[in-house]
């Protein structure tokens, strides 16, 4: 695109023209500085997290990641509880969101009547527009009470607490636990994954699809045998993108996960994630070590999400950037 342009523009006389003088150089410089500013932001973000978290990291060393003690009174901080909480909720959210997102993407590309296609895809995208805090309130005041009454209570009444499932599904019946947090997260990341998957499915060349239909394939067979293998690797990228979102989500999770630092021991136990711990404690933290431990937690979160997002970008590929 730009190559064609530079080729079409003889560069030598340009500098002599009035309109291409100092103003243009200044403008180009401004644009360049703005782009560099963006780059500096990310570098600054990393550096500030490292500096802020350093006292805790040097104090606890590697134990910071493996210990699950989190006690501001004794100044003992270990990240294992929140880290595991973050990974578990994000993973469960993906397990729930992925089949749904795939179904939505296929429905929109293959089956949705043209008349309502725009409405349906807008509705799905609007799910991504609802602020996190609104999801949190809805989770806390609508989903959690419903879940406690219609899922947790019957389980407690009917399951032997000593049995395997009784242990896995054990929890205080208030609906604020790791499972409901994952459920909310799943709804939140659903539109991101569905939108990317849909765009990917649309990139499958029409003649390939039509050839398959011409051979008498059913839509199911076209999706399974033609479209999925074509988008393959990029689809994993879409999943990672959703995972990145789920890992760093803060407010919705803070509302509904129950906020306990203990290592989660069942599906319906309350827990915490890195983001929810920071949101809950940062303004109330007074000890230097406490603040530093929270920032170090942030650094861990950044490392996890950065890896996930970078992998997503590489997998989705260049044309989608």
| Residue 107 binds to another protein (criterion: CB under 8 A) | yes
The tokens of 19 are what?
């309109």
Beta partners for residue 70, in sequence order: 77
Compare residues 83 and 275 and give the one whose CB is closer to another protein: 275
| Residue 256 binds to another protein (criterion: CB under 8 A) | no
What is the contact mask toward another protein in residues 136 to 175, using x (rule: CB under 8 A)? xxx-xxx---------------------------------
Residue whose tokens read 């603040």: 291
Tally of CB atoms within 10 A around 143 = 20
| Residue 278 binds to another protein (criterion: CB under 8 A) | yes
Strand 70-71, strand 76-77: pairing = antiparallel
For residues 249 and 188, the answer to whether their CB atoms sit within 8 Å is yes
CB of 233 to another protein, least distance (A): 18
Q: Among 64, 70, 77, 102, which residue sits at the site for another protein (rule: CB under 8 A)?
A: 102
CA-CA distances (angstroms) from residue 96 to 32, 90, 143?
43, 10, 16
What is the enclosing helix (H) or strand (E) of 70?
Answer: strand 70-71
CB of 304 to another protein, least distance (A): 10
Which of the stretches 100-108, 166-174, 231-239, 261-269 binds another protein when contact is defined by CB under 8 A? 100-108
Which of the stretches 7-15, 63-71, 77-85, 156-164 binds another protein when contact is defined by CB under 8 A? 7-15
Q: Among 84, 120, 151, 168, which residue sits at the site for another protein (rule: CB under 8 A)?
A: 120
Q: Among 55, 72, 166, 219, which residue sits at the site for another protein (rule: CB under 8 A)?
A: 219
What is the rounded CA–CA span in Å between residue 49 and residue 297? 9
CB of 318 to another protein, least distance (A): 9
Q: Among 5, 73, 157, 215, which residue sits at the site for another protein (rule: CB under 8 A)?
A: 5
What is the contact mask toward another protein in residues 29 to 48, using x (rule: CB under 8 A)? -xxxxxxxxxx-xx-xx--x
**Coil, helix or strand for 320?**
coil
| φ, ψ for residue 35, nearest 5 deg | -65, -40
Compare residues 80 and 251 and give the one whose CB is closer to another protein: 251
| Residue 99 binds to another protein (criterion: CB under 8 A) | yes
> Count residues contacting another protein (CB under 8 A)?
101
| Residue 198 binds to another protein (criterion: CB under 8 A) | no
| Residue 248 binds to another protein (criterion: CB under 8 A) | yes
Tally of CB atoms within 10 A around 70 = 21
For residues 152 and 176, the answer to whether their CB atoms sit within 8 Å is no
* Exposure b/e, 91-109, CB count within 10 A at least 16 = b: ebbbebbbeebbebbbbbb
């Amino acid at each position: 695109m730009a190559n064609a342009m530079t080729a079409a523009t003889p560069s030598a006389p340009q500098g002599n023209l009035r309109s291409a003088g100092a103003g243009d150089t200044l403008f180009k410089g401004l644009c360049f500085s703005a782009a560099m500013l963006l780059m500096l932001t990310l570098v600054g973000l990393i550096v500030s997290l490292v500096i802020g978290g350093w006292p805790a990291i040097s104090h606890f060393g590697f134990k910071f990641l493996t210990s699950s003690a989190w006690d501001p009174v004794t100044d003992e901080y270990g990240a294992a509880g929140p880290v595991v909480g973050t990974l578990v909720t994000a993973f469960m959210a993906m397990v729930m969101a992925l089949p749904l997102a795939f179904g939505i993407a296929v429905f929109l590309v293959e089956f949705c009547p043209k008349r309502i296609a725009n409405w349906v895809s807008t509705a799905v995208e609007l799910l991504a527009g609802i602020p996190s805090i609104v999801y949190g309130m809805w989770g806390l005041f609508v989903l959690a009470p419903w879940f406690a009454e219609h899922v947790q209570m019957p389980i407690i009444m009917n399951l032997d607490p000593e049995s395997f499932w009784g242990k896995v599904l054990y929890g205080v019946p208030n609906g604020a636990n790791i499972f409901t947090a994952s459920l909310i997260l799943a709804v939140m990341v659903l539109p991101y994954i569905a939108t990317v998957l849909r765009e990917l499915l649309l990139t499958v060349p029409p003649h390939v699809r039509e050839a398959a239909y011409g051979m008498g394939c059913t839509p199911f067979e076209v999706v399974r045998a033609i479209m999925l293998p074509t988008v393959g690797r990029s689809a994993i990228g879409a999943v990672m993108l959703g995972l990145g979102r789920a890992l760093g989500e803060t407010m919705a999770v803070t509302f509904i996960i129950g906020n306990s630092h203990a290592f989660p021991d069942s599906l319906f136990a309350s827990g915490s994630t890195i983001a929810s711990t920071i949101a809950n404690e940062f303004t109330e933290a007074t000890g230097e070590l406490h603040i530093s431990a929270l920032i170090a937690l942030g650094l861990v979160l950044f490392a996890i999400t950065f890896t996930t997002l970078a992998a997503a970008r590489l997998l989705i590929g260049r044309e989608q950037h």
